Every structure is written in structure tokens, then in C-alpha cells.
Amino acid sequence: MPEVMATENCIAEELRALAPRGVVKESEPLAPKTTLRVGGAADFYVEPAAEAELGAIVAFCARRGISFRLIGRGSNLLIRDGGLRGVAICLAAPAFSTLETRGESLRCGAGARLKTVSARARELSLAGLEFLEGIPGSVGGALRMNAGAMGAAVFDVITRVRYMDYEGRVGECGPAEAPHQYRSSPFFRERIALAADFKGRPAPRETILRTTATFNEKRWSSQPKEPSAGCIFKNPATVPAGKLIEELGLKGQRVGGASVSTVHGNFIVNDKGATAADVLELIGLIKERAKAERGIELETEVEIIGEEI
């Protein structure tokens, strides 16, 4: 045990040396950093202050064989109760949240909130980005999962992405060079999103405000207010996942502190101090019922990471 402690202290010291202006913590609880509010701690938690610090940390992890994981704003994420081994990285520093106007486009850092991107586009009278308003995440996480709402998705409205590979090298490319699909971007399974150019189109601000208000009304009348990770399952080809779960009579189904939302069947909410194990058991129950009664293999949209206790 003393040898393990010495190794961990050494890693922490090296991380602090690589990110002198950033944040480095040990055994950091991650549940408060996720929208579902469940999960264990990370061995190490780092908020680099700039791209150079991020690159140094990624290269260090590669050399030492230490696993790392970007956690963003913690939406669409389920961390198991045993937490994360290695390093959890969050691009929360101001350097990663910049928004720069480029004609009818916005260059948005990976740490920028999607709500902020939508608001800035509205200020500039640029339409087409209103659907981002209610997605509870950051640009980086949205690129990783090709997040979408209201019939649109992130890769529909970007013209360029900036990224870092797992050896710390930075590059840029167009969306056609970054493979993506429904609620997934294989390109970012082995790369870190740093920024993206979002393309809008000129429109009267009043029109944009009306569209935003319509989207918000639809969203908040059909989604729960309790802590959740967003939609749990991808929509099957034959029926929306929420409708399927409702037809199976599973709205309100509970395991421990987690339950299927009574507002929308594709949301699992943490309304009574749930653990990740509660949520995972409920996911398994839903998948079993969908397969047994309808022959449908539900695929999770939420990303499940970390270790069991």
C-alpha cells in the first residue's frame, strides 16, 4: 500500500508540473460533475489551462501507459460506482470556452456550453442553431456523440473541427473527413475535440426568438426536470425508444433511487439518491423487456464508463 501511495503521489506531482496553471486533484468525486449525479471518483482529475497543457498531459499519459478520459459537462454520461482509473480531464478553463465570430460562422471552443453558442448566434441574428439551446452539454461532448434535437444534429451545422490526437498533436479538418453517424462520431473515439466552426444563416432576430421559444416549450413540456443523463437509448428504426418504453408499461418503473420518468419514457431520473448500479439495473430491465416482448435490441445512447465497486 505505501508503494501504491508513493506512485500515486508521483503521478500527481508530474501532472501538476505539466499543468502549472491548471487544476489537478486526486480521488476527485465525479458524481457532482455529471447531470445524472451518480458515479465514483477519478484517481486524478485535471482541468488544463490551455492547449499546451492538455497536449503535455495527453503525451505524458501515453508515455506512462496511464488511461485518461474527457468528461466534458457530464451530460449523456453514466459513470459506474467504482469511478475512473487514471486521469479524468475536463476542458472547463476559459481558454477552451471561447466564441469567435467569423462572418456567418462561430468558432466555438470545446468547453463552450451549447446554450451559450445558441445565445451568441441569436445575438448575431444567425439562424439554424436554435436547436442547441436545450441540449445540456458542451461543444466537445456534442461533437463526440453528434448530439441533436428537434430534427437537427451538430454535424449538420459545422464546417470545420479542431482536434488533438492521443499523442498531443493538433489538427483541423472538415466534417466530411470526420466520420460521424446518428448519435455517434467514431472520429472522436481516438481524438479530443478542441473547437468547431458552427455555420448559421442570416435571419431576423424576432424569427430566431420565436423558433427558440417554440423549441423550449416543446422540450420542457416533454422532458423531466429531475437529474438525468438525457435520452438513455438510441431510437430503434421501427419506433421511438420513449414510445416503446411507454407501450411496455415501464414509465414509473423503479430500481432503488432511479426510476423511468413519467414524463418521457426514454429518460431515467435520479429522484431518490440513486447509485449508478440502480440506473444500470434499470437499463438492463428495460432492454430485457424490449427484447422479450417486442424483439427489439435497444442500444444505449448514454455513454457508460468506469469501474464497478
| Domain locations in the chain as residue ranges | 2-89, 98-206, 224-305
Contact (Cβ atoms closer than 8 angstroms) between residue 264 and residue 146: no
Q: Looking at domain 98-206, which CATH architecture does it have?
A: 2-Layer Sandwich (3.30)
In order along its 309 residues, the chain shows pLDDT tens digits of: 444 444 778 999 999 999 999 999 999 999 999 999 999 999 999 999 999 999 999 999 999 999 999 999 999 999 999 999 999 999 999 999 999 999 999 999 999 999 999 999 999 999 999 999 989 899 999 999 999 999 999 999 999 999 999 999 999 999 999 999 999 999 999 999 999 999 999 999 999 999 999 999 998 888 999 999 999 999 999 999 999 999 999 999 999 999 999 999 999 999 999 999 999 999 999 999 999 999 999 999 999 999 999
Instruction: Compute the half-sphere exposure of residue 215: CA atoms within 13 Å on the CB side of its CA.
Output: 21
pLDDT number for residue 219: 87
Query: How many C-beta atoms lie closer than 10 Å to residue 238's C-beta?
Result: 9
CB 200 within 8 A of CB 127: yes
Given this model, what pLDDT does residue 89 score? Answer: 98
CA–CA distance from 93 to each of 47, 48, 112, 127, 279 (Å)? 7, 7, 10, 28, 30
Q: Looking up cell 456550453, which residue turns up?
A: 113
CATH level 2 (architecture), domain 2-89: 2-Layer Sandwich (3.30)
Integer Cα distance of 56 and 154 in angstroms: 29
pLDDT of residue 101: 97
Burial of residue 206 (CB within 10 Å: 0-12, 13-18, 19+) is exposed
pTM of this structure: 0.92
Report the DSSP pairing between strands 158-165 and 191-199. Answer: antiparallel
Report d(CA 237, CA 221) in Å as an integer: 25
pLDDT of residue 7: 78
Question: Rounded to the nearest 5 degrees, what angle is found at the Cα of 232, between the Cα atoms of 307 and 31?
Answer: 45
Is residue 246 within 8 A of residue 293, CB to CB? The reply is: no
Partners of 28 in the beta sheet? Answer: 42
CA distances from 70 to 74, 88, 194, 245 (A): 9, 6, 11, 31
Which CATH number is 224-305 given? 3.90.78.10
CB 111 within 8 A of CB 93: yes
Q: Is 278 within 8 Å of 251 (Cβ atoms)?
A: no
Is 28 in a helix, a strand, or coil? strand
Task: Please list, in sequence order, all residues whose beta carbon lies within 8 angstroms of the beta carbon of residue 6, skipping any fewer than 6 positions away.
Answer: none
- Please state, in angstroms and rounded to a whole number, the distance separating the CA atoms of residues 255 and 307: 20
Q: How far apart are CA 46 and CA 214, in angstroms?
A: 38
